[in-house]
Structure 1
């Protein structure tokens, strides 16, 4: 039986509905990590560092897709809850076509200035050459990369999260197989990794576009758009937290790379890339859960069903708190094998990864509450509060931590920066949830 947004959600029903969303992001992360493993083991440490240097630039494009997908899906789900299906499809279509034009223009601009951007971020010599080369190829899939994140959110609103997972698996398998062919068999080096990524992104972004262009049995389809500046502004403000979070992640990643170059050289940058890959695996569980249940909250908010909002809020807290303890313990256990996968060929790199994971793992204890809290306000169409939580969590707190902690603790201070930022963010998120509980009636 298909689960509808309008249903009452028990723990089993809620977890069944969000599971495909979690698996979608999880698998997306896995095939990104496999990409890194291929580069690290078959092309070299400098190439691996080059990929990590470019990743924040590519994540900027993803951040725009996440913003428009999360913010737009909150608005569209609310409209569906208000039984305004025609308007919902017009807004959905406007978002997709607007982002198509945006993706083309921005991807071209980034490609043109790639060398200047990478140089500005601190790369030089062979690292600069390889990062520029990889980036100019990888950005060719920029528009598809944006679409991949937009449609991930809208597949959930369309009550087809399983279809999103299937598309992601196909895109991921395509990327992995092409990594094997291009890097290992054909020995194209870092170019092969870039082309494999682009083709995988094309599959992940274009297939959903075709699905929504064709007649389907979901609540959503692409129709003739009607430009609505107010709806576009609402979409942007709704999703501002996701934009802030992703841009901040890119900026903070650049800052981490800058600090690590200073404190630990290329080995530190490579170690950070490995730790971030493993972090993405765990954080995507929180992200997938938050994105998966957000349209449910938006729908019941639009339908003025406060009892279901209370039900969802209570279940949120139980699920993310339990997950926090589970993921922290799991990360500690897996620190050695994960370090071996990424750094077995270099003892210093291996030890730095292993030690960094041990410290970083404690961030998972509170990360889920912060993700879910920000996402909850996005779903309630309160982009301001959601954006403030994301800004403080991923930008202000973490930047302050990564700039100050290394002064006293060296590289260990860099690994602990996220832990400190999550603790500070938890206090702020809890205060916001208490402050707005009566206004929205979720507690």
Structure 2
């Protein structure tokens, strides 16, 4: 009986082959997930209009926070899991998996129940107004109550990928996306459930993903098992520390969304929020594609680090940076030449919305020239346990510099300044990273 051991395969497989083997399913899976998000927006915008789309956009940070929780524990656990496998300690890896799945379920159920008690205050805190509140509330309440399904599915997917199952993770993402798209159509256009139906479709899709991922337990080469373990505070805190940059990255996306919703409301009213929501849907696609690149290298870097193979680590990073730069140039060109068609996908909106969205996409897409490299370097440092620098990259690009520029640029340049905040933030972080690496290697 021949049993292919993932751990041995990475030991003997060339870096380029391993990189492509993980990159293709990760990016394809994230691409389908991104298409799923865009189709969500297109269906809501076309069926319910620009105000409903703005309401869903305002409620999006709830989804993002749950995703952040799953990445916090999921990436932290996955990094230690692959490190343990690279160091030939599979029993320790199983304990880490058990910690991750059980803790993410308990934590997100508690958070969801607590948030539901203050759901009205939370909706207004996120930026809802009299026009958008019914849509914010309808979408947000489903996400709060059943967000634990999203977190378990995403953390599970990350760990399956780290256990040598990138293709199964991709299949689960494909199924999740197809179920979500199909149910969105049924709930919005046939049953007329409104934004509540759109949220429910997302949750049901994630549940289907969990069922598919569970098949990994029955594979001969699988090391994943839920095992009995004694809770150790030190181990749990280690997972939280390692995964913190990923959590902070998603929190940064929530900060970005909330702060921009507030600024656009102030400068351009509900039309401005609708225009930004269109951009934010498209931006989610690009972020997920970059996240797919990070998801491809994290298992490899963590494994090679555990196996003490520095040469393979360096080759992997070089390949990832080259891939992300190429993707960034492609995204930038798409934004420059297809901004109006992209904006028109989301519905026949008033002219005031479209005249804001199309130029905004052109300006905002400049960020993708720099963003991919920042993502790769953050993932690299996180995967080798250099959490301080990984946290610095994430906090700088997603929160600190963003908020500083948001306070400075809009008063000086108006709406143009708002659109350019993220490109400027990403460029500044890239320059700082360049000097840090130069100093490190001198």
Q: CA deviation at 1:83?
A: 0.3
Find the counterpart in structure 2 of residue 103 from structure 1: 108
Find the counterpart in structure 1 of residue 185 from structure 2: 180
From the superposition, tell whether residues 373 and 189 of structure 1 become closer, same or farther in structure 2 (CA, over 3 Å).
Answer: same
Find the counterpart in structure 2 of residue 23 from structure 1: 28
Q: CA deviation at 1:72?
A: 1.2
Matched, 1:124 2:120: no
Find the counterpart in structure 1 of residue 164 from structure 2: 159
Find the counterpart in structure 2 of residue 306 from structure 1: 310
Q: In structure 2, the residue corresponding to 1:6 is in which secondary structure?
A: helix
User: Which residue of 192, 201, 204 maps to 2:197?
Assistant: 192
Q: In structure 2, the residue corresponding to 1:182 is in which secondary structure?
A: helix
Q: In structure 2, the residue corresponding to 1:83 is in which secondary structure?
A: coil
Matched, 1:366 2:370: yes
Matched-pair contact (CA < 8 Å) for 2:291–2:375: yes
Find the counterpart in structure 2 of residue 400 from structure 1: 404
- Unmatched 5+ stretches in structure 1: 439-443
From the superposition, tell whether residues 212 and 223 of structure 1 become closer, same or farther in structure 2 (CA, over 3 Å).
Answer: farther
Matched-pair contact (CA < 8 Å) for 1:140–1:198: no
Matched-pair contact (CA < 8 Å) for 1:82–1:302: yes
Find the counterpart in structure 1 of residue 42 from structure 2: 37
- Unmatched 5+ stretches in structure 2: none
Matched, 1:63 2:76: no
CA distance in 1, matches of 2:332, 2:406: 21
Q: CA deviation at 1:119?
A: 1.3
Q: CA deviation at 1:435?
A: 4.8
Q: CA deviation at 1:124?
A: 2.3
Q: CA deviation at 1:18?
A: 1.3
Q: CA deviation at 1:214?
A: 5.0
TM-score (norm 1): 0.94
Q: Return 325-334 or 94-103, whichever deviates more.
A: 325-334
The superposition leaves residues 222-264 of structure 1 with CA deviations (integer Å, 9 ceiling, x where unpaired) of 2223323222112111111111111111022101000000011
Matched-pair contact (CA < 8 Å) for 1:70–1:291: no
CA distance in 2, matches of 1:162, 1:58: 25
Matched, 1:417 2:417: no
From the superposition, tell whether residues 282 and 252 of structure 1 become closer, same or farther in structure 2 (CA, over 3 Å).
Answer: closer
Q: CA deviation at 1:206?
A: 4.8
Matched, 1:148 2:153: yes
CA distance in 1, matches of 2:439, 2:232: 32
The superposition leaves residues 24-74 of structure 1 with CA deviations (integer Å, 9 ceiling, x where unpaired) of 222112112211111111012211111111111221111010111111111
Q: In structure 1, the residue corresponding to 2:345 is in which secondary structure?
A: helix
Find the counterpart in structure 2 of residue 441 from structure 1: none
Q: Return 144-153 or 259-268, whichever deviates more.
A: 144-153
Report matched runs for 1:300-379 at 5 Å: 300-379=304-383
Find the counterpart in structure 1 of residue 431 from structure 2: 427
Q: In structure 2, the residue corresponding to 1:394 is in which secondary structure?
A: helix
CA distance in 2, matches of 1:170, 1:339: 27
Matched-pair contact (CA < 8 Å) for 1:75–1:381: no
- The count of aligned residue pairs is 437
Matched-pair contact (CA < 8 Å) for 1:144–1:204: no
Q: In structure 2, the residue corresponding to 1:358 is in which secondary structure?
A: helix
The superposition leaves residues 380-408 of structure 1 with CA deviations (integer Å, 9 ceiling, x where unpaired) of 01222111110001111111122221101
CA distance in 2, matches of 1:435, 1:25: 35
Q: CA deviation at 1:215?
A: 6.1
Q: Return 337-346 or 94-103, whichever deviates more.
A: 337-346
Find the counterpart in structure 2 of residue 87 from structure 1: 92
CA distance in 2, matches of 1:227, 1:413: 49
Q: How large is the Cα RMSD of the aligned pairs?
A: 1.9
Q: Return 178-187 or 306-315, whichever deviates more.
A: 306-315
CA distance in 2, matches of 1:7, 1:250: 41
Q: CA deviation at 1:175?
A: 0.9
Q: In structure 2, the residue corresponding to 1:97 is in which secondary structure?
A: helix
Matched-pair contact (CA < 8 Å) for 1:146–1:205: no
Q: In structure 2, the residue corresponding to 1:239 is in which secondary structure?
A: helix
CA distance in 1, matches of 2:204, 2:254: 23
Q: CA deviation at 1:212?
A: 5.3
